[in-house]
């Protein structure tokens, strides 16, 4: 019998895709010549927000800004643990102005925001496990940022190297299920990083490449419910076998920019 999982209420920060489009290419998913249906993107995004609230989570929103089409991907703007905000310094010049708008929201909400010196893309590459930080590098966030985060938070940071350009952020290849376990796609990581993950999480839920390419690992878990792309069918079945409740939410229009559920979701941890 599958273990009974315990949900924990979460607080999320999001940004409506009012100005969403694909006007440049900074990852393999982006095709500026491909049409984007903004109305569909907004309705899919709203379905995610509705799902969060229906499951008891709190959702705050940053106002979208014209000319910043990727602001919808709120996870990349910061990393928050214990009420402390570690800001972002985007790799792509096109996205760097986003940081100031998110920083303004946090400061207005009463938070101090640390501005990193090294390139770092928030929860895209920094993942809180409850005990330490798993930190991705290889395409965006640099190892120097990992050191900055460790000094800022005072928690151990474990560096993981990404090797597949389709999984350019850690949150496209791995997500935390609860305080004890994760789900991930092994082939997204270097051999040494795979060994680290095997040792840390011997009972991890492993994803197929098809499910990873369907943004199945760009998911959000509250400890029991896993908000997941409906196209990641095998992964959803494996999660259910482990006692989690998959909640399918289709963000396929936002996939055109290389983002999914987690990319749209910044968690604010008090």
Residue 231, domain member (yes or no)? yes
User: Residue 165, Cβ neighbours under 10 Å: how many?
Assistant: 11
Residue 4, domain member (yes or no)? no
How far is Cα of residue 183 from the mean position of the Cα atoms in its chain? 13
Supply the CATH number for residue 47's domain. 3.75.10.10
Residue 251, domain member (yes or no)? yes
How far is Cα of residue 168 from the mean position of the Cα atoms in its chain? 11
- Where in the sequence is the domain holding 258, given as residue range(s)? 11-267
**CB contact at 8 A, 148 and 120:** yes
- Mean pLDDT for the chain? 97
Confidence of residue 4 (pLDDT cuts 50, 70, 90): confident
pLDDT tens digit sequence for 65-122: 999 999 999 999 999 999 999 999 999 999 999 999 999 999 999 999 999 999 999 9
Residue 228, domain member (yes or no)? yes
* Residue 165 Cα distances to 67, 93, 145, 172, 188, angstroms: 26, 19, 20, 10, 9
pLDDT tens digit sequence for 108-145: 999 999 999 999 999 999 999 999 999 999 999 999 99
pLDDT tens digit sequence for 148-182: 999 999 999 999 999 999 999 999 999 999 999 99
Number of domains in the chain: 1
The arithmetic mean of pLDDT across residues 39-66, rounded, is 98
Residue 200, domain member (yes or no)? yes
Residue 2, domain member (yes or no)? no
**What is residue 60's DSSP assignment?**
E
| Percent of the chain whose pLDDT exceeds 90 | 98
Residues belonging to the active site: 169, 263
Measured between alpha carbons, how far is 188 from 194 in angstroms, rounded to an integer?
A: 9
Residue 5, domain member (yes or no)? no
Residue 6, domain member (yes or no)? no
- pLDDT greater than 90 at residue 3: no
């Amino acid at each position: 019998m599958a273990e009974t999982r315990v949900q924990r209420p979460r607080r999320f920060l999001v940004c409506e895709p009012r100005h969403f489009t694909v006007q440049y290419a900074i990852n393999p998913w982006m095709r500026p010549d491909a049409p984007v249906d903004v109305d569909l993107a907004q309705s899919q995004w709203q379905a995610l927000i509705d799902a969060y609230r229906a499951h008891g989570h709190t959702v705050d929103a940053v106002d979208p800004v014209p000319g910043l089409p990727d602001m919808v991907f709120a996870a990349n703007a910061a990393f928050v643990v214990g009420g402390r905000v570690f800001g972002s310094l985007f790799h792509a010049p096109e996205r760097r102005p986003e940081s100031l708008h998110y920083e303004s929201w946090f400061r207005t909400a009463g938070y101090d925001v640390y501005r990193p010196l090294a390139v770092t893309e928030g929860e895209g590459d920094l993942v809180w496990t409850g005990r330490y930080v798993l930190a991705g590098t290889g395409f965006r966030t640099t190892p120097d940022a990992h050191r900055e985060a460790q000094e800022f938070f005072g928690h151990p940071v474990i560096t993981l190297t990404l090797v597949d350009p389709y999984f350019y952020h850690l949150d496209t290849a791995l997500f935390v299920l609860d305080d004890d376990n994760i789900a991930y796609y092994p082939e997204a990581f270097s051999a040494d990083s795979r060994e680290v993950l095997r040792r840390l999480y011997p009972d991890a839920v492993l994803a197929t490449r098809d499910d990873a390419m369907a943004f199945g690992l760009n998911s959000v878990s509250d400890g029991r419910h896993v908000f997941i792309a409906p196209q990641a069918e095998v992964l959803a079945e494996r999660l259910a076998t482990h006692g989690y409740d998959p909640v399918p939410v289709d963000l396929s229009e936002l996939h055109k920019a290389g983002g999914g559920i987690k990319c749209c979701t910044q968690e604010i941890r008090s």
